Amino acid sequence: MLESLLPRASSYAVQIDVLFDIITILVGFWFFLVLGYFFYLIFRYRQRDGHKAEYISGETHKQKQAIEIPHYMILVCDVAIIIPTFLVWFNIKIDVPPPDEEVRIVAQQWAWTFYHAGEDKVLGTEDDIVSVNELHIKNNTQYSYHLESKDVMHNFSVPVFRLKQDAIPGRVISGHFKPILEGEWDIQCAEMCGVAHGIMGARIFIKSEAEHNAWLAANTPDPTGAGTLASANQNPSQEKKDQNNG
């Protein structure tokens, strides 16, 4: 159901969607069943001339069944949700595939800074490419990300990946994703982080191998200096700092 509203751009997006579908169907079934029964009771036992309210203790076998049967049915539905939830959790959070590449993501009020491994594919070296509010990745490549926050709590959300992860000050939180659909998509902060939270957006660019390699070659920093910003959408505080250093 979600795919009709939002594309699936990561390898595990379909698992998240199936889990949402299961929960929506089961919860929706009980919601409409209970709502329908509720309105039936309102109509069936409405105040009418010649009818007197009756006190029901709920002790007869038939009355108990009216409670016990739905109770056990709901337990079965709970198990039907819990089992696939654990499977999805294991597949995404526990059974983590080895990464082909890594990215570092730093959140701050109110921008995202992304550190891409350069042509050596090793993060933390001199040829790293730093960009603000633009994440450039290669399609069909397994990525490991390292997420942190400079100030307050943020949330790294990529809707087309079905990915949401808190960024907590003082912690580096790792996760993974594998893009499977080329295109340009939204990145959002999904945690209230201050007055400009609503404009803390970024873009993710998923490219073919040839396009990504061309981007790497065009944005690799000069060996004589590091920290070239690949994005023109520079953070104002960083821009001021660069001017002062100049």
* Residue 135 tokens, joined: 């994440």
Residue 241 is predicted with a pLDDT of: 40
* Residues paired with residue 103 on neighbouring β-strands, in sequence order: 116, 145
Residue 220 is predicted with a pLDDT of: 82
Q: What is the 3-state secondary structure (H, E, C) of the chain?
A: CHHHCCCCCECCHHHHHHHHHHHHHHHHHHHHHHHHHHHHHHHHCCCCCCCCCCCCCCCCHHHHHHHHHHHHHHHHHHHHHHHHHHHHHHHHHHCCCCCCEEEEEEEECCEEEEEECCCCCCCCCCCCEEEECEEEEECCCCEEEEEEECCCCEEEEEHHHCEEEEECECCCEEEEECECCCEEEEEEECCCCCCCHHHCEEEEEEECHHHHHHHHHHHCCCCCCCCCECCCCCCHHHHHHHHHHC
Per-residue pLDDT reduced to its tens digit, 139-164: 999 999 999 999 999 999 999 999 99
Residue 53 is predicted with a pLDDT of: 77
Residue 44 is predicted with a pLDDT of: 86
Residues in the chain predicted with pLDDT less than 70, given as ranges, are 1-3, 222-246
Per-residue pLDDT reduced to its tens digit, 34-69: 999 999 989 988 888 888 877 777 778 887 888 889
Residue 123 is predicted with a pLDDT of: 87
For the chain, the domains span 11-46+57-94, 101-218
* Residues paired with residue 176 on neighbouring β-strands, in sequence order: 144
Residue 120 is predicted with a pLDDT of: 82
Residue 115 is predicted with a pLDDT of: 95
Question: Can you name the CATH fold of 101-218?
Answer: Immunoglobulin-like (2.60.40)
